[in-house]
Chains A and B, each alone.
Chain A
Amino acid sequence: MQLNRRQALALSAAAAFGGLLPVVARATPEATAQRIAAFAGAAKPAMGKITLTAPEIAENGNTVPISVTVDSAMSGDDRVESVMIVAEGNPNPEVATFHFTALSGVAAATTRMRLAKTQNVIAVAKMADGSVYLDQKEVKVTIGGCGG
C-alpha cells in the first residue's frame, strides 16, 4: 500500500502519541439492536424506570465509569431480574449483564467500561413480569493527547 504524504503524516502522528493502534470497531447499531431484541424476548423495550449514568465526555475511553439504577421495590412482583449494558461502537456490543435478586435491596450497580470511540451506551432492564425498559447515553470519547 502506498501512503500519500497526508496519510503518512497522520500515521506518524498517531504513532507519536498513541501506544496501541485501535482495532477497527465491528459492532453496529443494528447488531446492538439485535442483541437488545434477543434480551428483551417478547417484550418491546420502553423508556423510563431505568437510568443510565455516564459521563458526557470520557477523559480516556479505556476506563469510563457507568452506573445504572432501576426504579423498583425489589420485592414481590416488582423486581428487576437483570440489566444488560451494550455499546454500539465497540468491537462487540456486549459489555456486561447485572443480575439482581431480592437480597440486592435496590437495583443499582456501577462499573467501569471500555469505549473504542464516541458512541451510544444502552442499558436495558428486564423486570420479573417480563416488561423491559431502556435508557441510552451518548459518551464522547476524546482523542487523547499525551496524558496532560
Chain B
Amino acid sequence: MSDRRGRRLAERCHVKRLSWAIALAAAAGPGMVVLAADGPVDDQLVIDGREMITRTMAPAGHPLPEVLSGWLFREAETRATEADSFANPGMLAVERGEELWNTVDGSAGKSCTSCHGNAADSMKTVGANYPKWDAAAAKPVNVELQINKCRVAQMGAEAYGFDAPDQLALTAYVKHQALGTPMHLDLAAGDMQSWWDKGKAVYYTRMGQLNLACASCHEASTGKYIRADHLSQGQVNGFPTYRFNTGGMVSLHNRFRGCIRDTRAEMPKAFSDELLALEVYVTWRGTGLSVETPAVRQ
C-alpha cells in the first residue's frame, strides 16, 4: 500500500509536466485517476506501550464522520519517529520543559513544582482539556497563556514571549503529561460556546489572495495533496510538534499563522482573540483524539 502510494507520489513530484500526468491518467484507464486523493493509512500508533487514539467517531454536530490524527497522513519514516519516544527529537524539548518545571524563577522564589508538585499527577489531563474558561479574564485560556499567568501572578516572573524556546519547552512538557488522553473541552463553562461559534466563523472564512478557508484544505480536501504534502484534517492534538522542516518545535499559534500566511493573508497576532477562538473550535473538532505532544511532522 505505502509502496504503491510512494510510487504514485514520486511520479507526481518528478514527472515534469502535466502532459505526463494526463498521459498516465489515460494509461491507467477509467476508474483510476493518477492525481487521486489517498486516504489516511491503516496503522496503529503505540508510544511507550500506550495505544493512541488516532481515529475516532466525530462528536455530534461535526461535519466529518470520523476524526483522524495527522499522524495517519504521514509517511512511514515520520510515523516511526513519532512512535519511538527516544528517537523523537521533540522529546529534547520535553526534557528541557521538565527542567523548567523544577526551576525557581521570579521574585516569589517559586517553581512550577512549588504549587503543582509532580507534573505526572497534577498535569495528567491538562493538555487534553485546554483551552479552558478563565472567569477572571472572561475569555478562554490556553496552556501557554496559563503558564504566563502563573509566572506573573504566582512566581513574580516575566511572562514568556510568544514562541520563546522556554515557552515551547514548558508547554510541550505540560501537554506531554496528557499523552494518550482523549481531548475533551468543557464548552458549557462560562462563555466557551460563543468562543466556539466565533472560532467556527474563522474556520469557514475564506482569506488571503488565495481565498482559502481552513475548511478548504482540512475539511473539503482532507486526504488530497497540496503539492507533495498529504493534507490532514489539521488536528491540534500533537502541538507543540517537532518539524523536520525546521528542526525545531512549532507551536499551535505558529502553525495557525503559517497556514494563514500561506493563503497570503495578513496574519493575526498569536494569542489574539481570533486565534484563541480558532484554537477552541479546532480543539473541539479533534474531540476524542489522544494528545500526542510532541508529535513529529515533516
Contacts and interface: CB of A to CB of B under 8 A. Distances in A.
Interface of A: 16-17, 19, 55-60, 62-65, 118, 140, 142-148
Interface residues of B, number: 37
B78 A147 contact: no
A142 B13 CA distance: 6
B244 A60 contact: yes
A58 B77 CA distance: 8
A148 B232 contact: yes
A95 to B, nearest CB: 16
Contacts of A140: 10, 13-14
Contacts of B227: 17, 142-145
Contact of B75 (A59, A62, A144, A147): A59
B47 interface: no
Nearest to B250: A147
Interface of B: 3, 6-7, 9-10, 13-14, 70, 73-78, 80-81, 225-232, 243-247, 255, 258-259, 261-262, 264, 297-298
A54 B243 CA distance: 19
A55 B243 contact: no
Nearest to A110: B87
Contacts of A17: 227, 262
B243 A147 contact: yes
9 contacts: A57-B10, A60-B298, A65-B77, A142-B13, A143-B228, A144-B227, A146-B258, A147-B255, A148-B73
B264 A59 contact: no
B84 to A, nearest CB: 11
A55 B75 contact: yes
Nearest to A141: B13
Given A55-B76, A63-B244, A148 B13 contact: no
Contact of A65 (B81, B229, B264): B81
Contact of B229 (A55, A56, A63, A147): A147
A139 to B, nearest CB: 10
B13 A145 contact: no
A78 to B, nearest CB: 30
B228 A147 contact: no
B6 A148 contact: no
Contact of B225 (A19, A55, A59, A145): A145
B297 A147 contact: yes
A82 B82 CA distance: 30
Nearest to A64: B77
Contacts of A145: 225-229, 231
B78 A143 contact: no
Nearest to B233: A148
Contacts of B247: 62-63
A17 B21 CA distance: 23
Contacts of A142: 9, 13, 227-229
Contact of A148 (B9, B10, B76, B297): B297
Given A17-B227, A146-B259, A147-B258, A60 B13 contact: no
Contacts of B70: 148
A16 B227 CA distance: 13
A144 B262 contact: no
Contacts of A148: 70, 73-74, 226, 229-232, 297-298
A137 to B, nearest CB: 13
Contacts of B225: 145
A55 B228 CA distance: 15
B86 to A, nearest CB: 12
